[in-house]
Each structure stands twice: as C-alpha cells, then as structure tokens.
Structure 1
Amino acid sequence: MSDRWISLVAIDPAKERCELDFSAGQRDVVADTNLVYLRHLDAWSKKWDNGRIEIKDNLQFSKLVYGSLYYILISLPSDSTYLPTNQFFGLSPGGLANGANFTDYQGHVFWDMETWMYPGILMLHPELAKAMLSYRLFSMPAARERAVAGGYDGIRYPWEGGSTGAEVTPDICIPCRENQQHITGDIAFAARQYVSATRDLQWLQTEMGYEFIREMAAFWVSRAEEDWNNDTMMYNINGVMPPDEYQISINNSVYTNIGAKLSIMFAEYAACLAGTAEDNAMIEKWRHVAENIYVPFSEFKRYHPEFEGFEDVTGDRKIIKQADAILTGFPQMWSMPEDVRRNDLELYEKITDHGGPAMTWGMFSIGWLELGDKNKAREFFHKSYSPYVREPFKVWTEAQSGIGAVNFITGMGGFLQTVLFGYGGVRLRVEKLEFDPEIIPGTSGMRLVGLDYLGNSLNIDVYEEVIKIVKTKASEHTIDLVTSDSKIKFILHSGKIFLLNNV
C-alpha cells in the first residue's frame, strides 16, 4: 500500500450517480492507491502538454503563470469521464467557490467568463472553450424569454446566470440586473473568437452555433432600433450600465455600442458560412443598423468618451471603477489611430479607481505594449498581479485589500491575457492570427506550448533575437506564415516551421 494520501471528490446533479461514482473511486483506491495516483498524473500531463505557457529563467513568475492556468482548468470539465457527460454550467468569478450567504457571487456566471477567462483558454484548449460556450447555448431558451420580457427580438443573456440560464441577479443590484446589457455583446464576441480560432463549421451548422450568433445580433438590432435618433440619424442604445459600474444608467456606452456593432457584423459573416438565402437577405438589412449605431468620439480631444455626456461629468462622479472605454482597443480591437489609442489610455489612467480589480491594469499594459511604450507596459503589468496574489499557493483576491471573491479566477484570466495577448503579442482576427511578441521583464523569454489555430497546434519559443515555431499537429486547414520583419524569415517544410535565417 502506498503512503500517499488520496482525496476523492465526486460532483453530480444526481445524488445517486454521485454516490455510485464516489464508491467506484473508493474501490480503485483500495485496490491500488498507486494506480489512482498514476492515472491522475497521466491525465494532468496530457492536459498540460496540450496547452500551457512556460516562462524562461524566472521561477516565481513561472509559478504565477502556471497557477493561474491551473486554477481555471480545475474549474472546467474533465477531458474524459466514466459517466455520460453532464451539461457544463459555466465559470463563476470565484471558481469552485461555496457561494453561500452572497459570498463569491453565489457561484453565478457573469461576463467574467467570456471576457476575462475565455480568451486564454480558447487559444490553448479550444475544446474547453467550446464547453464554456455550451452553457450559453443551453440557456438560449431562458435568454429568449429575457429578450421577449423587455419587448426585444432574439436572445438577451442575464447579468447573472445560474443552472437554469434565467436571470438570478439578487435584488440588492437591480440596476446591474436591468442595465448591464453589454453581456450579450460579450458573449457574441466570444462566439466570434471561437469561429475565428477554429472554423468549426459543424458547430455553426448542426450544433446551433449559427442560430446562437444570429439571435444575439437580432437582439441588438431591435435594441438599437428602439432608440433611433431623428436629429442625428443614428441608432442609440440608451439606459444601460457599462462595465464601469459606478455609472447606473447612461446613454451610448462606447464599449456596449461597439459590442453591438461587432455582434451584428459577425452575424453577417456567420450567415455566409451557415445561413440560408433568407437569412442572408435579412442580415444584409441589419448591416444598416450596425453601420449607424452611434460610437461616442470627441473630434476635438481625439479620444473615446466612455458614454454620451461623459465630458459633462465632474468630480468624484467621474471616477471609473474598472477598465471600460480602453477595452475598445483590446479585446474589441476597434480600429483607431495611434494617437486616439494613446489619448484613451492616458485619460482613463488618471480617473480609474486604483482600488479596482486586477483585470483593469492588464488591459492598460496591453495597450501600452501596442504603442511600444515598454516602461508603461511594465508598470501596469506589475500592478495587474502583485497586489492581488496571496502566498504560498498563488491564490488571488478580487481587490487589493483582500476582500471580494476568492479564489478570483477572473483576475487570473485577465493576467493570462496580458501574458498571451500582451507580451505574447497574439491577435486573433476573423481572417488571420497575428503574432508580435515582446520579452516579459525579468525573464529571458517564453514558450507557448500547444497554441491552437484552425486545428493546428503550434509550439512557439520567443527569445530576444529569435522566434522558433514548430507545428506539432496539422489539420485540413493549412497555415501560411507571413512576416513583415525583415530580420526574421521562416520557411514551412515537412510540417515544421524552422528559423531560416536571422540577418
């Protein structure tokens, strides 16, 4: 008998199945404790080999990256099970938290899953990203009821979702429940990312993926048409709460409106892949709405006001809770001149609550990396994790003070995005994957193991002067590697991409 301690946990909505599964685990332990341990070790080795981020020459930072990915992965479904696969019910900000007495958001699912946790998982474990989206497909009937109740078409997702998919935001936060409508745009953007990364036509055509995308767009069309402005000849989206929750009800949130535009525009793209002729005609008409949804912009100051009338807000009312307007640069990747991106970052840095959640500062870091300011990027990168991590197990708290959800996997998701999309330089677009890495301060490089794109799996080593890419798994989708950097040239041969020269 091994001297290892084995802790068994069985989780299932059905008590009888849970007891059977737990009993089966007990029998395995009694029969051979070492075998159970080896199975556990093998399962984690396979998952880790399929997708991870390695940091070169910085052990503590390596632990932080590994820990962040690990804490999100343990909250996601297993790769295999001895029982029929159950419906996955999403990720809550506190991960596998107790959720009792209003703690850790009661285990409810917010925009946190799609906006903060999902992007990194998609690039490393797309099958798990699909499982995350499956919760939203499962809850489409409830989302349809939510839209109908407000007099809208399509599907509108709740601010807080539970096992039924219905709105479960408690009465202590009625404005959040009614006004944080951007979540439907966040979910639509996640669907856009999934199709961009995988070209999963089966999901689109036979697993309700296209209907999912189309019906979210239908909501935004009806929502915008409600607020047509005859004076400006533009569509408005009024009476919403943006990601900045200090604003209870405002008009034309720049983040919300861009999310709506992107949702409708992507539905047109998805219709080309999976829609009918009738769909194509309908969605072509929607294009007029998407093109004419108002996006706040100050021509004089050349920046994006957070919402209509933002410039008239003064004093403490102008303090922002968390990343909001700067999210238009990333993750939304809304096209804008460099000076506008810089102005957005500089203005909102001054008025963002410095006691806010970790994800905010990572988005500033990504923005400054885009602009080539490594010093500013380093400043905000350090701020994105150092005040929130608790030793010795790298547990994250929601706020710097230690209050809020624990273990805060939302913050970990934002941190991993700063590593992967910030210093990793990854940009997932509908038609291509871009890659423009920088060395993380205090390290000698990084390795992206199992970065997935169109069914291909890539290992990418990033050093100061050299980038090496190896394709470890191929699919029917070929990858053409194009570089604009005259110093580094690559050649594709026999399923591997080798560094040809470095001149």
Structure 2
Amino acid sequence: MATEEDKVKVMSPMEDGRWIFSSSSLPSDPRLMATLANGYLGTRVYGDVFHVNGVYNGAGGNCHRAEIPSPCFKLVAAKEILLTENFALNIKRGTFIHTLQCPSFTATHQTFAHRSYCHLLVNIVTLTSTQGTHPVSVDLQSKFKIESPDLNLQEGPDFREFKYIFGSTLESETESCPVKSIHMIWTPVPPYLELTSSKEKTWVFLAAVCETEKDVKEKFAEGLTLIAENELCSSHERAWAEFWAQSSIEMDSSLSMIQSVNGCLYYLLSSLPQLGYSGEFYGISPGGLSNGRSKEDYWGHVFWDQDIWVYPNILLFYPEMAKHILKYRIRTLKGALQNAQKQGYKGAKFPWESALTGCEVCPDNIYGDQEIHINGDVLLAFQQYYYLTKDLDFFASEGGWEVVSSVAEYWCSRVVWSKEEQNYHLNGVMPPDEYHWDVNNSAYTNALVQTSLNFAIDLAVSLEHHIPDSWKDVASKIKVPFDPKINYHPEFDGYEIWLKVKQADVVLMGYPMMFPMTIEQRMNDLQMYESRTDPDGPAMTWSMFAIGWMELKKIQVAQQQLKKCFANVTEPFKIWTENADGSGAVNFLTGMGGFLQAILFGYTGLRIAKAHLSFDPILPDDIPRLHITGVFYLGNKLNFTLSSNIITIEVTSVLKGQNCTLEIYFSQLEPSLPLYIGRPVSFPTRAGQVQLKQSQE
C-alpha cells in the first residue's frame, strides 16, 4: 500500500494544455499510444511488451529489440456504470494517468518509467469511495504471459512476496557477441482491486529489470525503499523537473504549436538516460525504445537519424547527454573497422543500421553497402560537439580521435582518382535519396568527405598528431558535383532535373553541413529540390527546407514547408508517424528532431561554427516572441529572447572550473558587447555571433 505522496497530484492550470495531452478515448491504432521511456527501458502504454536499451535478439539482419513481457495493466470498471473516463499524458512529469469516474467511486491509475531509477517501471492505482465506505472494486485487465519469442524465460523463486523470472536472448548479433541476460522482478497483478472498509486506498505495482540477478534484486529493493520513504513519485518528478529547468523553449504561439514543440522535447528526452548517467548507452533508434520489435519500426536499429536529426537538439541543450551518443559510436568502432575490412577498405565504415556491436545489421545489403554517407553523418556530430564545447580531452583520451581518424582513413581508401577530371570520385553509392542507388559522386556524400577530412586535419593540429598527406589531398580534390549553367548542385553525376527525390538530400549541404556556397546557389538548390521531393516522403524532410528558406529570409515560404510537418502528428498523444498517411515508423523521433531543429536553428538562425555560435533570427507574424533557455556554449548557459525588433541574450551560469568570458560580435566596425552572468544584453534584431572575448582566444 502506498502513502499520500504516491497519489496522483492535482494538475495546475499552468500545466494544463501545454503539458498535458488528454482524451476521453484511446486511439484506435495501438501504435499511436503514448510512450513511456527513460533511456534504459521503454514501452507503449497498455502494451504487452517493453524493451531494454541494448538488448537485441537475432543475428545480422534479423537482429531486433528483444520483447520482454510487460506486467502492466489497464483499469476496467466492470461492475458499475462508467460516468466519465480520461486518459492523459503529462509530459512535464513523464506520467500517464487514467481516471475512471463511477457513481460510487473514482479510480486513478498512473504509469511511468522512472526517470532517475531507470530500472523501474511503476504502476500506481488509487480507489476513492464517493458514497460512504461500502465495498467498491475495479478490474485489472492484463495481457501478461511469461513468454517471449526472443528470450528463453524461466520462473525463479519468489523474491519476498514478488515474482521473479530470468532468461537470455536466443541468438546473438554476431558469433563473437554474447547473448544478453534479462532478470525481472514484479508485483503480481491480481484480477481486481477492492476497497472495503476505508474511504480510500492506494496500491503500488513495481517491475524491475536488469541483466543480473544481483542487480535486479537491488533495484527492486530500492523501489520498495522509495515507497516506504514517500519518494517513489517525487524522485521521478524531480528528475523530470531537472531536465525542464535546465533548458526550455517558450513561444507566444498557438496551443497546437506549443504542444508540438513540448511533445517533441518530451519524446526525445525520454530516449536519453538520466542526467549524470555513467553507464553504457546504446543509441537512439527512429521509433525510440518503445518500439522496434521484429519487423516493426526498423527493428530498433540506430541510423543516421540519431546523428543528423535528433542529436543537434540534444547537443545545444545537454552536451553531456550528446556525449553519450558519441560514446555509442566510439563503443561500436570495432564493428565499424570490421565493416570496412570486409569491403576491402582501410579505416572504419559505420553501419547504415547499427545495434549492439557496430557490425552491419541492415537486412538489405544494398543500403549497408552503399549508404556510406553515414560515416560523414557520424563525424559531423563529433565536429559539432567539439566546436560547441572545445572538449579536447574527449578526443585525446576518450576515443574521439580514433573515430575521427578512422573515418578519414576510410574516405581516403574508398575514393578513386579520375585522370580525366583530375579529382577524386566516390563511386557506387546511395545518397540519402534512396530512390537512387549505385550512383557516382553523391553531392551530399562527397561534401561530407571534404567536411570530415578538414575537421580531422584541424583536430590533428590541435592534438599535435601527424597529418597524412592523403587527407589534405583528398579534401582539396574531392569532386562535389555542380552545374554552372543552372548554378545548383546536381544530386549525383548524371542526375536529371526531372527525377523524383525521396527526402532531404542536397539541401542538407546548406544546413546542417554549412558547405560553402553562394546565396543564389543555396536558393537554387532549395527551389530545384522542393518541387522534386516526394510529397509523401518522411516527416523530417520539410523542416530542412524550412530552415533553408529561413536562412534566405523567406519566412512565408518557410512556414509553408514547416506546416507540412503537422500532417505527421497524431492525436491525442502527439505521436509522430514517419509518413503523413500514417505508414512507416511510429513515435518517429527523426521527424520530431527535424521539427525541433527548425525551431532551435531555423527561427533563431543559430549555427555552431569553429570559433563562434552565430545567430540570425527571423520569426513569423504568428510567433511574436521566442524564448529559449539553457543554450550551451563553451561552458556557459545562455538564454535567447527573440522578437521581431529586439534580441536579448543573457548568460545565466558557467560550469564549475570554466573561465570562458563571452562577447557578442557584429563586425570590425562596431564594438563588441561583453556578456556577464545575470546581466542581459539587448539590441535591435540582426545577425551576430557569440564568441570568446578576443583576449581569451
């Protein structure tokens, strides 16, 4: 039995609407249910399984997230008339709440994946009699069975009065990779709960999952202690509050826009471990931890979606969390080295689809063999981290340099010299536009080759490492297709301007890659590919067109593109689908990541450059004010408040041990504006950059 602390707390008016997605009914498609996750475990509400980060079953292309049976349940008022029913996802508190109102009682059921005690999945039910103390009851509807197509589960002896099962995955990803063990302890779920003599009663149902018997017993016991100390709910809510307190996006806009932004942040943050996490993290898949069982949502694999679409939002606010994403790539470098060796090349080839080891697990060879732009996507994430943090130790001693240098070696071994054109070619590739394959010189891929190598060269200088001549040679002579007649970048050699494109491809050269080009070339690329991109393509595409048009100050055109994203948002829980018709992956974090980038990097014009954080804001008429808190730059936390006429920038804190004094720079003809903690600086809206004070450079 739980105490008063564990009951559902009253929602404040400030939370309602912006932070709570509620409905009197559930979506007819169970794929569109709200999801609960904490970076270690995740599930769909009322789903019959949950997943654990890094626990996969199946070899090679058959590898997928292992299904772990979930002891969750749903309340059903079977014996009384149901007056009202409400289902609500409170994203500020990371909790799903189901409320039943009957003539003689009210029942509330809250569910959450604990934000700080990440091994715990929690269900709490409270029955309150509204007509005296005569008995009332509610049924618990559960699909739980001790079985899984992915685990050889066995029942163990009870842990105190609680149930215990254990087992291991049936097949490992590779021969050298061991199978994963799973141990789970949970509170047994009765067929019903009954309130007899008292006016109110609360029941708590815990489930703990770990990879060893010792750990699962310790984690479950921790949960019991939290209950006894009235800390189970409050510790979970404090952890979520810490995330929201560190960074936020506030805007004067429509409720649907605010909900979409907050919802995207919630689902992305749910895919990350708690702040201060020191364990191993195994990446972010397009459908998050709540999805990814066999033949569903890309089987829980990690793609470029993590590095290009989700990561920049995390990096801007939570660089320590972004570092976990980079560490995943470092941890899987051995597999990437093997991938390159199998193809006959040097260095590392990161897999198009990655799971536990970094070996290729894509079911279709052509993607794994040809979609090699993933290497540049990974390195762009490492580059952005270095520019934003200047954390040289990460590259010197934590494995960052090994990733950077290995990718550089791969590019140099993969290119071929063209005597005819006197430059390097990259042949037989598939660009991000997956409607075309086995093409030569993908503009996006080759531009990434140059970007990767230039970063590797700069980093080698900082680390005082030897720079191979081949790096400089390939960087300066790689072919990036360009048509001087039309003044745009053809997608690849031989591209015809009438060919349909699946998704954002060449337009990514402008952002996030920031490949050098003129304003006219940028505009021509946007215009050319906007009309040729499949309108039924994946959700993230239109956000990149929106960012491009914002760069060019074409805000109305940008808004038209951004509004296309809303076709992928489903009600009532703001779950995104990959495609506007509802097909493809669900809880599509990739689309959410692209949409958030349009807010964080589009409206603001923020760009992470080698020596500064630039800004060049533009807001539509229906968003007169945008307030972004907790932007990280060189150990400082900054707030940006933007309007059509005024920008205000404030340093709110500096990391302990850091001594990076910043200034706002406009041009050599104007004095810079120094930034000090707690002293906001305002000026007329225009482009500028935040940088180290000149004396510190």
- Residue 176 (structure 1) aligned with residue 356 (structure 2): no
Residues 441-450 or 492-501, more deviating: 492-501
Mapped to 2, the partners of 1:11 and 1:169 lie a distance apart of: 31
* C-alpha displacement of 1:114: 0.2
The answer to whether the Cα contact below 8 Å between 1:491 and 1:497 also exists between their aligned partners in 2 is no
The residue that corresponds to 1:340 in the other structure is: 521
Deviations 1:104-132 (A, max 9, x none): 11110000000100011100111110001
* C-alpha displacement of 1:335: 1.1
SS in 2 for 1:357: coil
Between Structure 1 and Structure 2, the one with more strand by share is 2
The answer to whether the Cα contact below 8 Å between 1:239 and 1:249 also exists between their aligned partners in 2 is yes
Q: Which amino acid aligns with 1:363?
A: M
Q: Identify if the C-alpha distance between structure 1 residues 372 and 494 changes in structure 2 by more than 3 Å, giving closer, same or farther.
A: closer
Mapped to 2, the partners of 1:453 and 1:344 lie a distance apart of: 31
TM superposition score normalised by structure 1 = 0.92
The residue that corresponds to 2:637 in the other structure is: 457
Mapped to 2, the partners of 1:136 and 1:408 lie a distance apart of: 21
The residue that corresponds to 1:43 in the other structure is: 239
- Residue 292 (structure 1) aligned with residue 473 (structure 2): no
The residue that corresponds to 1:413 in the other structure is: 593
SS in 2 for 1:330: coil
How do 1:367-386 residues align onto structure 2 when only pairs under 5 Å count?
367-383=548-564, 385-386=565-566
The higher relative CO (CA closer than 8 Å, separation ≥ 6) is in 1
- Residue 478 (structure 1) aligned with residue 674 (structure 2): no
Q: Which amino acid aligns with 2:506?
A: A
Q: Which amino acid aligns with 2:389?
A: T
Residues 153-162 or 40-49, more deviating: 40-49
The residue that corresponds to 2:388 in the other structure is: 197
* C-alpha displacement of 1:483: 2.5
* C-alpha displacement of 1:6: 5.4
Mapped to 2, the partners of 1:59 and 1:175 lie a distance apart of: 43
Mapped to 1, the partners of 2:593 and 2:381 lie a distance apart of: 14
The answer to whether the Cα contact below 8 Å between 1:468 and 1:497 also exists between their aligned partners in 2 is no
SS in 2 for 1:310: coil
The residue that corresponds to 1:303 in the other structure is: 488
The answer to whether the Cα contact below 8 Å between 2:663 and 2:675 also exists between their aligned partners in 1 is no
Q: Identify if the C-alpha distance between structure 1 residues 390 and 288 changes in structure 2 by more than 3 Å, giving closer, same or farther.
A: same
Q: Which amino acid aligns with 2:511?
A: F
How many equivalent residue pairs? 485
The residue that corresponds to 2:649 in the other structure is: 469
SS in 1 for 2:256: helix
Deviations 1:113-172 (A, max 9, x none): 0010001110011111000111000011111111111111111100100112211111xx
Deviations 1:53-82 (A, max 9, x none): 11224333122111101101111111146x
Deviations 1:339-396 (A, max 9, x none): 111111111111110001111101111111111111101100111x210001121110
SS in 2 for 1:403: coil
Mapped to 2, the partners of 1:413 and 1:160 lie a distance apart of: 18
Mapped to 1, the partners of 2:599 and 2:291 lie a distance apart of: 29
Percentage of pairs with the same residue:
39
The residue that corresponds to 2:51 in the other structure is: none
Residues 55-64 or 212-221, more deviating: 55-64
Mapped to 2, the partners of 1:500 and 1:160 lie a distance apart of: 46
Task: List gaps (5 residues or longer) in structure 1.
Answer: none
* C-alpha displacement of 1:272: 1.4
Mapped to 1, the partners of 2:621 and 2:590 lie a distance apart of: 23
The answer to whether the Cα contact below 8 Å between 2:578 and 2:585 also exists between their aligned partners in 1 is yes
The answer to whether the Cα contact below 8 Å between 1:428 and 1:434 also exists between their aligned partners in 2 is yes
The answer to whether the Cα contact below 8 Å between 1:97 and 1:406 also exists between their aligned partners in 2 is no
Q: Identify if the C-alpha distance between structure 1 residues 352 and 494 changes in structure 2 by more than 3 Å, giving closer, same or farther.
A: closer
Task: List gaps (5 residues or longer) in structure 2.
Answer: 9-109, 113-119, 122-206, 686-697
* C-alpha displacement of 1:476: 2.1
The answer to whether the Cα contact below 8 Å between 1:257 and 1:295 also exists between their aligned partners in 2 is yes
The residue that corresponds to 1:359 in the other structure is: 540
Q: Which amino acid aligns with 1:403?
A: S
Q: Which amino acid aligns with 1:432?
A: H
Deviations 1:479-502 (A, max 9, x none): 22113599x997426434533665
- Residue 30 (structure 1) aligned with residue 227 (structure 2): yes
Mapped to 1, the partners of 2:480 and 2:673 lie a distance apart of: 42
SS in 2 for 1:387: helix
Mapped to 1, the partners of 2:340 and 2:242 lie a distance apart of: 42
Q: Which amino acid aligns with 1:190?
A: A
The answer to whether the Cα contact below 8 Å between 1:210 and 1:275 also exists between their aligned partners in 2 is no
The residue that corresponds to 1:260 in the other structure is: 449
How do 1:384-399 residues align onto structure 2 when only pairs under 5 Å count?
385-399=565-579
The residue that corresponds to 2:281 in the other structure is: 88
- Choose which of 507, 530, 534 in structure 2 pairs with 1:326: 507
- Residue 73 (structure 1) aligned with residue 269 (structure 2): yes
Q: Identify if the C-alpha distance between structure 1 residues 464 and 485 changes in structure 2 by more than 3 Å, giving closer, same or farther.
A: farther
Q: Which amino acid aligns with 1:433?
A: L
TM superposition score normalised by structure 2 = 0.67
Mapped to 1, the partners of 2:572 and 2:218 lie a distance apart of: 32
Mapped to 1, the partners of 2:587 and 2:316 lie a distance apart of: 23
Mapped to 2, the partners of 1:327 and 1:501 lie a distance apart of: 31
* C-alpha displacement of 1:41: 1.7
Q: Identify if the C-alpha distance between structure 1 residues 249 and 21 changes in structure 2 by more than 3 Å, giving closer, same or farther.
A: farther
- Choose which of 300, 313, 331 in structure 2 pairs with 1:138: 331
Mapped to 1, the partners of 2:635 and 2:494 lie a distance apart of: 45
The answer to whether the Cα contact below 8 Å between 1:234 and 1:292 also exists between their aligned partners in 2 is yes
- Residue 422 (structure 1) aligned with residue 607 (structure 2): no
SS in 2 for 1:258: helix
RMSD: 2.1
Residues 330-339 or 178-187, more deviating: 330-339
The residue that corresponds to 2:613 in the other structure is: 433
Mapped to 1, the partners of 2:250 and 2:218 lie a distance apart of: 35
- Choose which of 53, 56, 80 in structure 1 pairs with 2:249: 53
- Choose which of 269, 274, 279 in structure 1 pairs with 2:463: 274
- Choose which of 97, 103, 107 in structure 1 pairs with 2:290: 97
